[in-house]
Structure 1
């Protein structure tokens, strides 16, 4: 297989009045780019939205938790119902000691640990099968590096206690930024007491809430070969389909009940590249300026940036888009399902061709 094979995902999406990702003061996050203030949504926020979307579509995901030891204890006692708590905890502590992951007095890890259900189940099976023998450190490490859920394989894992358990992320997600300058706005709100006496006046509560509206450029990429190394070919291709779908359709839920701001993308472009991933945010370094809306001009500036990038990189293996009035640089898809089908077909073809034995 070639050393380089990457998938770029580009999304233009307009969002109305909202506050989907807040800073420590409660204000929408921002970034300074191209000399002006942009709306910003952090990559961490959108990756969590993707993981939640996986769950909604019944895609198996991992547990990002400090309670991994408790999960293992439960799995052990499910396999061996007669195992009492004390003996179960002894086995759990032996596993985590060999894995060089420290547990505190409450049997929790010092930091959040991302583990897949398959890893927990296989650890429990390994311990149960070897209950009368000495556990093997290498075997435990192998379990904690294998059986990866899609989110673990995509977003990776950092284990401060034992870097040998780290998993390199196969995907990168950029901070979404607005294609144009934004000006913060403030909602002044009040609330009345339903049982307030008629001779009383005034609000029971008042406050302000900062918000903005923006047309966002969103970008993510996937190192296809890295994902295949993490999951295997078939699971990797299936995982890419699920990731593209989840990334396109998901949205962080900050203040969702207040603003009901869930929109769908206006434009999507996916590009399969044989050389390097390309973030096209440079197309918006000169902010979009318009009095008739930002979407159409944002799509045009994205297309222009794509065309300019072709002077520096190889021709892509595949470029498909969705939502353009008239596609200028890509094979148009008539639906998200159609886009995903084209992507999966080409990925399957490329992987098989490069294997040379399928």
Structure 2
């Protein structure tokens, strides 16, 4: 597929006191933007949360995993499928994976880096020796290597990608044939306003204290902040379709699952301490045929610290989209938004009107996903 088609996803989401993504000091990550300090959640953190969300709702075989322990995982499969002792299965697994030329890690059996693959792909590698594993285990190392050298191990990892690998890609620096170009780009989430780092000083009392004992059994502190975040991601539909072997239906399903999981997922840092899970107040999708467009410039001037930061952020985003479209003259193929603002509230009435001007009348999140598929289909037909 050669068509240029990008699906931009814009999210405004308010998070209460939290530490979603900590830095090397254990405090929430930050960034300076527009001359002020902002709350930041790294793209890597939200991509992992997104991937975990859609894996939770997918069959086991359709899930992906990123690990250094691929040899252990393959050993388990070979041992289980062939009723083989783990030591014998481990020898076979090691020889099969040696064909890939993976650099070895410091710990025996581990690779030097995290390898991203699908469960179905590893199942397929294990299946290459099904029915003959016992005979292979009886061979010495040299004969075993010779016996499996022509099995298509590398080819198995370059086809049949799960949604996670198809979306986020795979980078193996020293083995280019295993690389998969990502179909998704995710920006670092930034607060739309200035934030201040705060600390929660906490104490814990020992439940077994004697009556005359005073003081805490534990004392500590956790850094946190609260913020209204602007989140952005873009999906290259042609790249996604290519990563899925040219299967357009699979690409539609992957896109739908990504939009759903990107909107609903939240990184889990310190979740037991803060119970910070919220839903976005705005999710907007824009289908473009020229290039992805991140609208973070809407917040280069930080939103003032006053009532309605969330509504003001959504309105500022909508205005930026309108202005950018008018200035550049590149109207998108489709845009739509699902949001929680209503005209019943005086302080959100202007926001609702501006959002409608930018993205059309609001729709439910379910309808946004359903309509996206039909509009992309129409855009592809127009390009054809």
TM-score (norm 1): 0.92
Residue aligning to 1:70? 72
Q: Cα RMSD between the aligned structures?
A: 2.0
**Is structure 2 residue 300 aligned with structure 1 residue 271?**
no
| Matching residue within 185, 195, 198 for 2:198 | 185
Quote how far apart the aligned CAs of 1:208 are: 2.0
Quote how far apart the aligned CAs of 1:210 are: 1.5
Residue aligning to 2:213? 200
Residue aligning to 1:220? 233
Distance 1:80 1:151 in 2: 29
Distance 2:97 2:359 in 1: 50
Residues 145-176 of structure 1: CA deviation (Å, up to 9, x unaligned): 11111111111111134122111111011110
Residue aligning to 1:40? 40
Quote how far apart the aligned CAs of 1:349 are: 3.3
Residue aligning to 1:145? 158
Residue aligning to 2:54? 54
| Matching residue within 112, 135, 142 for 2:149 | 135
Residue aligning to 2:90? 89
Conserved 8 A contact 1:68-1:115: no
Residue aligning to 2:366? 337
Residue aligning to 1:169? 182
Instruction: Say how many residue pairs are matched.
Output: 353
Residue aligning to 2:141? none
Conserved 8 A contact 1:51-1:61: no
Change (3 A) 1:77 1:350: farther
Conserved 8 A contact 2:319-2:358: no
> Equivalent residue of 2:279, what SS?
coil
**Is structure 2 residue 223 aligned with structure 1 residue 210?**
yes
Residues 87-130 of structure 1: CA deviation (Å, up to 9, x unaligned): 43333222222111134562221111111012112212234488
Distance 2:18 2:91 in 1: 49
Residue aligning to 2:143? none
Residue aligning to 1:243? 258
Residue aligning to 1:300? 315
Distance 1:125 1:342 in 2: 40
Residues 164-197 of structure 1: CA deviation (Å, up to 9, x unaligned): 2111111011110000000112222122222222
The gaps in structure 1 that reach 5 residues or longer are: none
Moved more, 310-319 or 167-176: 310-319
The gaps in structure 2 that reach 5 residues or longer are: 137-146, 342-351
Quote how far apart the aligned CAs of 1:19 are: 1.0
Moved more, 117-126 or 26-35: 117-126
> Equivalent residue of 1:207, what SS?
strand
Distance 1:192 1:276 in 2: 56
> Equivalent residue of 1:118, what SS?
helix
Conserved 8 A contact 1:76-1:124: yes
Residue aligning to 1:312? 328
